[in-house]
Structure 1
Amino acid sequence: MKEEVLVFGGGISGLATAWNLHKAGIPFKLIEKQTETGGVISSEIVQNTVLDFGPNSLRDRDGSIRKLAEEVGLKDEIIQISEAFKTRFIVRNRKLQALTPSPKTLFTSKVISGKGKLRALAEPFISKGTSNDESVGAFLERRIGKEAVAYLVDPVFSGIYAGDIYQISKKEILPQFAENEQKFGSLMMGALRTKKKKSEIKPMVLSFKKGIQQLPEAISGKLSDQILNEEVTGVRKKGNGFEVETSEGKYEAAKVISCLPAHSLSSVLRGFDPLLSETLRSIDYAPMLSTQVVFNKDDIELPQSGFGFLIPRKENIRLLGAIWKSSIFPELSSSTSSHFTLMIGGAHDREILMDDIQQIEQQILGEFTELMNTSAKPEVVKSKLWRKAIPQFHVGYESDRQKMDEAEEANPGFYIGGNYRWGVSVPDCVKAAEKLVQKLS
């Protein structure tokens, strides 16, 4: 059977690619080994409360998520995050300290000591460093000091990337900051002198009435006739196109777009491109455990409304942080419940892959209730372990990108997508999928 395009992988990258092919009228098939699409996007409804085990919200800066949602029939299912999300908390000395998006926060917050604040404010007077790649931790320690990095940068990047800031790349994670240092000699000067592009579209942080999984479910529902529930096992060149081997048979295609995780594509490409296969195999992924806890609303009280809290590694607490879901999306919880997402694992805590899940739950619940100043017991505790949750863009990752570029150039019609190529957020992947298909059309 010959197709114009074969798409590997039914996570959000593969689904967004397939949807754009569908809109462009390009014949395709999407191959996904799991019966359920969506990858690490996973939602479940328990006791009238929506539990999101993957992303808990989507930051739609340019409207691409809203556009996609409208196209697949979810316009009326979108819910906007509450104003509470603007207030976040950092744990210091086992106490929650509020951070609001205001310049004066740097002066009033107890997260950083007076000495640490003065060091951070000295940033414009620090000489610029090397243009070579280096870790986010080393880069920002040089710019704003060790204390600000330990209590602000580390918890934030642990929350977003599940990463070790002394391993992940400044060029990958903070390209604008790296450029500003070289161009203006200072991050603060760069922020002041770089004009932000004005957008007619207002950014929005959003979810859906039945959770984030509504989005991949809606896309796959529209494309069900084009989805093959099979596992890709190999690929080779054939004529002007490709022959793809799966668990069920063989297919031919003029073009192949892989949105498989790096480690999965590595196995597929062993015979096709051994060098690229080895590069992909070496890409590190951090594990994450998402634990959903639901309390009776009367049993637990928030210090104030907010997004939740993050915990610096210096606090020696296993829990990475908590999202106060009932505060930011009250529509997703029952009126009698308070719902929280607890995050554990990441590059610093790979032991979650070996430890007993119930023991981890007990440990982090104890840490969470202590920080929330309650002895209440949750009515619901549900966890999902993602063994390879988030790709880690280590220092030097640009050489991996170069090898992917070279493989595409050497094999016209072969394309590599997914979060390790396009960015870890859902909006990053949706936007990149649209751009790729525009290039093919």
Structure 2
Amino acid sequence: MAHLVVIGGGAAGLSAAYHARQAAPDLQITLLEAENRLGGKILTVAEQGFVLEGGPDAVVRYKPWALELMCELGLEAEIVSTTPARPAALIHSGGRALPIPAGLQMVVPGDLRALAQSPLLSPLGKARALLDLFIPKRPQGDEAFGAFIERRLGRQVWERLVAPLTGGIYGGDPYELSTQAAFPQLVALEQQHGSLIRGAIAQRKARGNREAGQLFASLEGGLGRLVQALEARLIAVDIRLGTQVRGIERSKGWLIHTSAEWIQADAIVLATPAGVSGELLANLHPEAARALKAIPYSSSTTVSLAFDKAQLPPRVGHGILMSLGQGFSTRGFTWSDQKWTGRAPEGFGLVRAYFSGVEASPDELVKLALHDLERLWGRVPKPLQSWVFHWPLGLPRYTVGHQERLAQALSAETLPGLFLAGAAYHGVGLPEVIRMGRSTAQRAIAFLLSKSLESEPEDLQKPRAQA
């Protein structure tokens, strides 16, 4: 019987193991995870009536792969949307918090009336943004994302609108992102329409509005329910938690060295962070290993704070984001009790702060979050409880040159039976990672099937005559 080993039990590894099991019920599958739990950065904690998300708290609806998996796992009745809110979120410009303009497509204004009426931009900033309608497109080529937006829409749109919206997606400095790797849709808008705004208007007409908080979805008990449902479907998979992989070798397939034993495999799915995968491949494919280790990561942290709701000031929508260069430590806040129903007991408010690239102790992070809230509110009541979730390898960053690094990294798949999956390659969002786990499982199964056919006697490979 063929043996597939999945290394890494985060979203990509779980998706790969699940889809491999669905496609090949008789396949021997082993899943190795270094931590003592599955799910990676999907971590939901239910405590004293609070439902806390340590990592992602939602999936976007227009990328269907996570929702499709939830439905396939029987979770359809548990899927929830964010509570209706208009505006759904604000951006703090440094002086005050202002609504995000309606009609955005990704991060580009797709409604000229809403852009004209938005107080987030000055009249000069709006006029500069409209020059996008007349600026000629450039030949395709990689470009820093901040430079791309400033070239098309101006610095003010970058600092007050686009950077706050994208800074929490990839972490680190959003200016340094590769536009081609992180936002290929925007490159396509420029090339196809000659203007980002013109392309966004066309997209909006085709798709309709995504306003009033219906862009995001989750599960009633938090995204941890997805991990639980996947684990329940992997009963026939040999799941080994707390198992650190120390090396892999080629030998009649693959040999995987853990702290306890050697495991023989016919195929491997490496669903570990890029640097970890690079270390494991250092002796097998040095060029790919160097490229994998060159993919940068930024740490991320979420701090959740519980308050007496009666002591909180009025909060608008689902949360607030911060403009660049305004002295805030946080990237933004989510009003979790207002964004989702059932996340806090009656009479309590639940606020979640998001940090990227900030290294500090849990107590210091709580103080930083409270300091920023004090700037927003003027006075902050004492939190009744706090929870801090820190991810040293929070998010891979698709900086300029990512596509070249990616091509070199994926050259590791020239090793027969080796497949890569994870957020470092084709998208950091949960839907993209789930999609990549599925496609990687399909390629692994195709490889094992072809290997099985090659090993059959020639007469067994011939088509059987019909009875």
TM-score normalised by L of structure 2: 0.86
Q: Is the 8 A contact 1:106 1:117 kept in 2?
A: yes
Q: Which runs of 5+ in 1 are unaligned?
A: 347-351
Match of 1:278 in 2: 290
Match of 1:334 in 2: 345
Q: In the alignment, residue 53 of structure 1 is paired with which amino acid? A: G
Q: Does 1:208 align with 2:208?
A: no
Structure number, greater radius of gyration: 2
Q: Does 1:357 align with 2:362?
A: yes
Match of 1:258 in 2: 270
Q: Percent identity among equivalent residues? A: 26
Deviations 1:227-255 (A, max 9, x none): 1221111112223x222111221112221
Query: CA, structure 1 residues 289+246, in 2 after alignment: closer, same or farther (shift >3 Å)?
Result: same
Deviations 1:175-222 (A, max 9, x none): 1211232333222233355698879xxx86222222211211221233
Q: Does 1:118 align with 2:122?
A: no
Q: Secondary structure at the match of 1:51?
A: strand
Query: CA, structure 1 residues 35+303, in 2 after alignment: closer, same or farther (shift >3 Å)?
Result: closer
Q: Does 1:423 align with 2:427?
A: yes
Q: Pick from 146, 151, 165 the counterpart of residue 142 of structure 1.
A: 151
Match of 1:349 in 2: none
What is the Cα-based RMSD across aligned positions, in Å? 2.2
Q: Is the 8 A contact 2:247 2:256 kept in 1?
A: yes
Match of 2:323 in 1: 312
Q: Is the 8 A contact 2:370 2:380 kept in 1?
A: no
Shift of 1:330: 2.0
Q: Is the 8 A contact 1:3 1:252 kept in 2?
A: no
Match of 1:13 in 2: 12
Q: Which runs of 5+ in 2 are unaligned?
A: 104-110, 209-213, 447-467
Q: Pick from 352, 356, 366 the counterpart of residue 345 of structure 1.
A: 356
Match of 2:51 in 1: 50
Match of 1:39 in 2: 40
Q: Secondary structure at the match of 2:175?
A: coil
Q: Is the 8 A contact 1:87 1:101 kept in 2?
A: no
Q: Pick from 372, 379, 382 the counterpart of residue 387 of structure 2.
A: 382
Q: In the alignment, residue 436 of structure 2 is paired with which amino acid? A: A
Q: Does 1:435 align with 2:439?
A: yes
Shift of 1:3: 4.5
1:106-255 matches, within 5 Å, as: 106-192=115-201, 205-224=216-235, 225-229=237-241, 230-239=243-252, 241-255=253-267
Match of 2:89 in 1: 88
Deviations 1:311-347 (A, max 9, x none): 012211112100111111022221211111101123x
Q: In the alignment, residue 244 of structure 1 is paired with which amino acid? A: I
Higher mean C-alpha deviation, range 255-264 or range 136-145:
255-264
Q: Is the 8 A contact 2:374 2:380 kept in 1?
A: yes
Task: Find the aligned partners of 1:318 and 1:179 in 2 and give their Cα distance.
Answer: 34
Query: CA, structure 1 residues 192+366, in 2 after alignment: closer, same or farther (shift >3 Å)?
Result: closer
Task: Find the aligned partners of 2:83 and 2:310 in 1 and give their Cα distance.
Answer: 21
Task: Find the aligned partners of 1:298 and 1:173 in 2 and give their Cα distance.
Answer: 41
Q: In the alignment, residue 169 of structure 2 is paired with which amino acid? A: I
Higher mean C-alpha deviation, range 396-405 or range 145-154:
396-405
Task: Find the aligned partners of 2:162 and 2:59 in 1 and give their Cα distance.
Answer: 21
Q: In the alignment, residue 254 of structure 1 is paired with which amino acid? A: D
Task: Find the aligned partners of 2:384 and 2:86 in 1 and give their Cα distance.
Answer: 25
Q: Does 1:30 align with 2:31?
A: yes
Task: Find the aligned partners of 1:127 and 1:197 in 2 and give their Cα distance.
Answer: 24
Q: Secondary structure at the match of 2:424?
A: helix
Task: Find the aligned partners of 2:323 and 2:70 in 1 and give their Cα distance.
Answer: 35
Task: Find the aligned partners of 2:128 and 2:206 in 1 and give their Cα distance.
Answer: 30
1:399-414 matches, within 5 Å, as: 399-408=404-413, 410-414=414-418
Query: CA, structure 1 residues 287+335, in 2 after alignment: closer, same or farther (shift >3 Å)?
Result: same
